[in-house]
Structures are given as C-alpha cells and as structure tokens.
Amino acid sequence: MNRIDARFLKLRDSNQKGFIAYIGAGDPTLEATHDLALAFDQAGVDILELGVPFSDPLADGLVNQLAAQRGLESGTTPPKLFETIRRIRKSSQIPIVLYVYFNLIHKRGLPEFVAEAANSGVDGLLVLDLPPEESGDYESTMAAAGLCPIYLVAPTTPEQRIASIVPHGRGFIYYISREGVTGMQSKVAENIAAMSALIRAHTALPIAVGFGISNPEQARLVARHAEAIVVGSAIVNQIAENRHNPDLVRHVREFVTSLVQASKFSR
C-alpha cells in the first residue's frame, strides 16, 4: 500500500486528523532538508511536501518564491533531491509528496521522472500546472509506479468541475482555501466547511486544506472541517528566519510541533 494511503487509513482508524508540512527542498541546503524531514517525522507530521525548486513558481507567494530561489542557489536539482530522499528513507518512512511544476517533469521525460521519484521513495506528485484533461499518460504512468497523483480544487472551482477533477486523484484531494498564491494570512477563509462538504459529495478521498494556515489556532479551526491540514509558508518563514542559526532544525521543529499538537484532536 502506498504510504499516503496507509497513513490516512491509520488516521481514520485512530479517529485523528492529519498534518502535512511543506518546505522548499534545498532551503537552505539539502542537508537541512534531510534533517528537517527526520525531525518532522519525530514531531508527528503525517506527510511531508517538498517543493522542487523552480525558476518560475507561479502558484507561490513571496515566502515560497524566495525558498525556491534559495534552493536553486544551494544547487538543488531533481537528481540531487532524489538522492536526499533515498537518505531520508534509510531512517524514516514518512510519506513524501513532491510539489512540482510540470516543466521539470517534461524536461526529464515523464516516464523517467516518475520512475526516479518512485525509486527514491517518493509517494506522490502534486503538479501545480497540470490539469487532468491535459495530463496524457501521466496518471497511467503514476499508477504503474505506485504513486499518487494529487489534484487541486480551488474556492472558485464550480461543482461540475469538482466532479470532473476528483476521480483523477489518489491519496488525497488538496483544497486550496484561498484564491491567489501561497502565503500566511491573519485569518482563515470562511468557506472551508461548505467547500469541504461539496468536495466530499463527489469523492471518498481524504481532503487536505491548505494556503494561509499560519498558527496553531488557525490549524485547530481548519482541522475541524477536513481530514488533514497543510501548512507551508509559515514553516518556510521559520526556516528563512533561522537559516543561519546552527539550531535551525530545533527551532523549526518546535514551531511545527505546536501546529501538529493543535491539529491532532479526535474527530
């Protein structure tokens, strides 16, 4: 069983919500990415999203754009990231999803990229700019490799469109709770409960809600309406502020632990 499916099954059986942490791969170094991944696993993070550095991250706000820039500056490439994930797999079985733009997959070649991702220990791909109707052989290639293709639903997605998107997904559906790009927000979106219910009417897959969750209070609130929450920019911001600190991993782990504890209440 894919690690993502197994983790959500475990969460369901224990009547708990999941926590998904996003960081930029190679920010500030791939060594830090390795160490943060292990620290997050120990802190109770259920799924790790790794943003693959890209020169034009159009879906990302400033915090994550700068993380991608730092990742590129540290020399992070897909092959080097795959090697880092192999190292993570020596110590951890935390489910790993790559947050990636299709240009990077296309440049390597779809079969080659998917095979290399699977062989390194990746469990799923969240391709930001690949709608299902333009995916070609993507889903069949992913299925053959045992990977989950994860798709996005936005607040502006009409119900008919939701119904056409979610059958293509595996692992979970990622609900973007805000219009626009990634980033920290002072309050959570007001339509999360209604949109989660609408998505749930068309799929049995778990729903993970992200974009804008910045602190434990917001994490606790959003977790009431979904199977999992996703926090990215707030964690990436902690990395940015502590990237020159020798205690980087400890500082970021403490922040992430507070978010995990806020979201880990029983259903």
Strand partners, 210: 176
- Quick one: tokens of 94? 């935390």
Catalytic residue among 46, 49, 116, 123: 49
- Asked if 17 and 231 touch (Cβ cutoff 8 Å), the reply is no
Query: What share of residues in the chain are helix, strand, coil (percent, to 5)?
Result: 50, 15, 35
Residue 46 appears among annotated catalytic residues: no
3-state secondary structure of 153: strand
Distance separating alpha carbons of residues 208 and 244, to the nearest angstrom = 32
Asked whether the bond before 111 is cis by omega within 30 degrees of 0, the reply is no
Element (H, E) at 177: none
Residue 5 appears among annotated catalytic residues: no
Catalytic residue among 60, 116, 123, 227: 60
**Closest alpha carbon to 110 in 138, 80, 148, 73:** 138
Distance separating alpha carbons of residues 166 and 112, to the nearest angstrom = 26
Distance separating alpha carbons of residues 137 and 35, to the nearest angstrom = 35
| Torsion over CA: 231, 233, 234, 236 (sign) | positive
Would you name the residues annotated as active-site residues? Answer: 49, 60
